[in-house]
Amino acid sequence: MSFMFGKKKYIPVKLPNDPRTGVLPAQGQSCPNCGVWISADRLSADKGVCPKCNHNLTLSAYQRIELLSDDHSFEEMDADLAAGNILDFPDYEDKLERARQESGLAEAIVTGTACIGGNRTVLAVMDSSFMMGSMGVAVGEKICRAVEQALQLELPLIICSTSGGARMQEGIFSLMQMAKTVAVLERLHKKGLLYISVLTHPTTGGVLASFASMADIIIGESGALLGFTGPRVIKQTIGERLPDNFQRAGFLLDHGMLDLVVERSKLRDTLILLLKLHQEGKGC
């Protein structure tokens, strides 16, 4: 099955924009929550947070990497690793191709090493613009390789998740990524290395029920929807109104599932403090 990681097979040569610049859109946009118009300058200065209602706008993986890491310190790994259509699932190639064109990414996660406040770390960031950040074989493989990189270099690991869960089009192979990622992470834990999981909006299903919830420290970005089953399905099943704030980061903090809820503007400083307290970060 070497074709699975065939590096060139589905990778578009010409992407519409270069996503790696990591900047927010050149034009402004209106806040999806309160509707207020936010200028491009403001968006950039406020890290994609609405100045009026404090809503976190969706960040691409590269935008988040820029938000968290020291300038120009990110070195990407496995950038073009991508999976094929292992199950011959109907229309999956077209969907992948469209996701690649729209997101400019080969897959729903970007991994590499970065410096965060002078601490060298392995950093993996998911991107919800690529098929809802769903986890198939390539996402699982990139996570495992990131963990293995952290093991090899003895660096702390930070994974920022955003995902609808396992990718249905890769069927059972997607499901098995849950087991694969936690098995590799267990080696990181046994070696005494730090793993911080940052849960961003939304993180659900098989991603939350595997590597994303198996961290030493779990941070929820404020307002993020986090859960195993999405609220729509739960509502259908039980047929009644859901509690206020259900499955939001604050709700999960109150139920003891998160170490911290952090606003986007404080996320980088929080990570720097945690890295420092573990004194693991190797200088850059």
Is residue 162 a contact point for other proteins (CB under 8 A)? no
Q: Do the Cβ atoms of 40 and 27 come closer than 8 Å?
A: yes
Candidate list 36, 45, 233, 277; residue touching other proteins; CB under 8 A = 233
Q: Do the Cβ atoms of 82 and 106 come closer than 8 Å?
A: yes
Dihedral pair phi/psi, residue 173, rounded to 5°? -65, -35
Is residue 260 a contact point for other proteins (CB under 8 A)? no
Is residue 172 a contact point for other proteins (CB under 8 A)? yes
Is residue 168 a contact point for other proteins (CB under 8 A)? yes
Which span sits near other proteins by CB under 8 A: 56-64, 96-104, 164-172, 276-284? 164-172
Which span sits near other proteins by CB under 8 A: 34-42, 49-57, 67-75, 163-171? 163-171
Is residue 128 a contact point for other proteins (CB under 8 A)? no
Which span sits near other proteins by CB under 8 A: 104-112, 153-161, 203-211, 260-268? 203-211
CB count in 10 Å sphere of residue 7: 12
Per-position DSSP letters for the chain, written without gaps between them: -GGGG-SSTT--SS-SS-GGG-PPPSS-EE-TTT--EE-HHHHHHTTTB-TTT--BPPPPHHHHHHHHSPTT--EEESTT-----TT--TTHHHHHHHHHHHH--SSSEEEEEEEETTEEEEEEEE-TTTGGG-B-HHHHHHHHHHHHHHHHHT--EEEEEEESSB-GGGHHHHHHHHHHHHHHHHHHHHTT--EEEEEEEEEEHHHHTTGGG-SSEEEEETT-BEESS-HHHHHHHH-SPPPTTTTBHHHHHHTT--SEEE-HHHHHHHHHHHHHHHT-PEE-
Q: Give ∠ CA 52-56-58 in degrees, rounded to 5.
A: 130
| Residue 138 beta carbon to other proteins: minimum distance, rounded to whole angstroms | 12
Is residue 93 a contact point for other proteins (CB under 8 A)? no
Is residue 192 a contact point for other proteins (CB under 8 A)? no
Candidate list 242, 245, 266, 277; residue touching other proteins; CB under 8 A = 242
Is residue 237 a contact point for other proteins (CB under 8 A)? yes
Is residue 175 a contact point for other proteins (CB under 8 A)? yes
**Residue among 28 and 230 whose Cβ is closer to other proteins:** 230
Residues 6+ apart with CB under 8 A from 239: none
Is residue 1 a contact point for other proteins (CB under 8 A)? yes
Positions 27 through 86 that interact with other proteins (CB under 8 A): 86
| Residue 183 beta carbon to other proteins: minimum distance, rounded to whole angstroms | 4
| Residue 207 beta carbon to other proteins: minimum distance, rounded to whole angstroms | 9
Candidate list 202, 247, 248, 274; residue touching other proteins; CB under 8 A = 247
| Residue 147 beta carbon to other proteins: minimum distance, rounded to whole angstroms | 10
Candidate list 56, 69, 129, 169; residue touching other proteins; CB under 8 A = 169
Binding site for other proteins (CB under 8 A): 1, 4, 86-87, 89-90, 137, 144, 165-180, 182-187, 190, 205-206, 208-214, 227-229, 233-234, 237-238, 242-243, 246-247, 255-257
